């Protein structure tokens, strides 16, 4: 189920971030981004487990999209993108060129 993030989701979102990207000290910036006033965040929750999340800024920029590594390959990222596309006409994003798997995902 895709739904808007709740305050009680933040710990699960941090864990998802760490598992999917090994973020370490960058954690603070992700949390700050998720809760910034111009960001809308949705989570994918199944069986009371947050499996992934997406954050979109008011300018339709995908700031974060993470799927817990334990659940990657199950089309959760695609469901998050498709749900978001139903709300926005156009989305933009930036991906580091060394993130080959991410580039492949977004090209699909």
Strand bridging mode 49-57 / 62-67: antiparallel
Structure tokens at 5: 């993030």
Strand bridging mode 39-46 / 2-4: antiparallel
Range of the domain at 69: 2-107
CATH of the domain at 73: 3.40.630.30
65-75 pLDDT per residue, tens: 988 888 989 99
Please state the domain count of the chain.
1
What does pTM read for this prediction? 0.81
45-98 pLDDT per residue, tens: 999 999 999 999 878 999 889 888 889 899 999 999 999 999 888 899 988 888
**How far apart, in Å, are the Cα atoms of 99 and each of 37, 38, 61, 81, 86?**
28, 26, 18, 18, 26
Radius of gyration of the chain (CA): 13
């Amino acid at each position: 189920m895709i739904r808007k993030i709740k305050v009680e989701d933040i710990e699960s979102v941090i864990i998802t971030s760490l598992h999917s990207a090994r973020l370490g000290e960058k954690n603070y910036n992700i949390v700050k981004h998720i809760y910034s006033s111009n960001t809308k965040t949705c989570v994918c929750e199944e069986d009371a487990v947050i499996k992934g999340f997406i954050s979109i800024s008011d300018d339709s920029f995908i700031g974060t999209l993470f799927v817990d590594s334990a659940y990657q390959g199950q089309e959760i990222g695609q469901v998050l993108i498709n749900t978001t596309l139903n709300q926005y006409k156009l989305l933009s994003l930036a991906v580091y060129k060394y993130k080959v798997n991410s580039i492949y995902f977004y090209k699909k």
